[in-house]
A and B are shown apart, each in its own frame.
Chain A
Amino acid sequence: MNENLFSSFITPTMMGLPIVILIIMFPTLLFPIPTRLINNRLVSAQQWLAQLILKQMMMMHSPKGRTWALMLISLIMFIGSTNLLGLLPHSFTPTTQLSMNLGMAIPLWAGAVITGFRYKTKASLAHFLPQGTPVPLIPMLVIIETISLFIQPMALAVRLTANITAGHLLMHLIGGAALALISISPTTALITFIILILLTILEFAVALIQAYVFTLLVSLYLHDNT
């Protein structure tokens, strides 16, 4: 039971070849490059969506922060499309892998923090001490702020991993339960099936929300540091 449940999270390899590379690269195929002034529906819809997201996200940044626009829009589209593709049955979701999420979170967070240290050193260091703290509390508060700074990339990675993994696990379990209950008591199976449908709708929302939260937090760390 244990082995079976987590088997969908094993990095896929086919006869020793790591096809996980192809799976991670697959969402890029779903974003065609616009070649005309007026494009087809798919490309126009994606461009419209990208513009909507960009306007919303980059409004609060300074010109220096807006140089990250390409990175942030790529991030949210990548995570969103990967999560949504993972909701297909029998598919592998790369964002369930802690390795990938750490690989995304640490460089982006480090980039934002190092940019802050380079260009606004005093303001970045000032983040370690909130305004108006009583003097005796200063050492403890600096330690706490340092810990909370260094936990940011870990929290980013683990949040995404845990949310998507937990959702997938729940769907596996409840789906399995619904299937097993059909022969025992069809009414309970129906109720379980309705729960499964509600859970799937939730998972669609979670897929998009997690992409948004990840990108928003990176954007926030950027805002603090530019």
Chain B
Amino acid sequence: MPQLDTSTWLVTILAMILTLFILIQLKFHKYSYPLSPAPKTFKSTSFPTPWETKWTKIYSPLLLPQQ
């Protein structure tokens, strides 16, 4: 049975170790499974000062007291 001819065993085993443990793993290492993109909610941590909580019409640039 040619499988029992041990003269070729070293080459076969070395080639297999190279392929299985290095080459193929390099290929599958690059597979990435990103989650579906979803918008990120953000909360601003700075609270507006009391006179800025509501935007009122007086803040529009043309209505400010002219300098």
Which applies to chain B's interface (DSSP): helix, strand, loop or mixed?
helix
The reply to whether A11 and B8 form a contact with Cβ atoms under 8 Å apart is yes
Q: A20-B11, A70-B25 are in contact. Are A28 and B19 (CB under 8 A)?
A: yes
Give the number of A-B contacts (CB < 8 Å).
96
Residue of chain B at shortest CB distance from A12 = B8
- Interface size on B (CB < 8 Å)? 30
Closest to A13 in B: B8
Q: B32 in the interface, Cβ–Cβ < 8 Å?
A: yes
Identify 29 residue pairs between A and B in the complex whose beta-carbon atoms are under 8 Å apart, listed by A's number: A9-B3, A11-B11, A18-B11, A21-B18, A24-B15, A24-B19, A25-B18, A27-B19, A28-B23, A28-B24, A31-B24, A31-B28, A33-B27, A33-B30, A70-B25, A71-B25, A74-B21, A74-B25, A78-B19, A94-B12, A97-B8, A99-B9, A99-B12, A100-B13, A102-B13, A103-B12, A103-B16, A104-B16, A165-B3
User: Using a CB–CB distance below 8 Å, which chain A residues touch chain B?
Assistant: 6-7, 9-11, 13, 18, 20-21, 24-25, 27-28, 31-34, 37, 47, 50-51, 70-71, 73-75, 77-78, 94, 96-100, 102-104, 161, 165
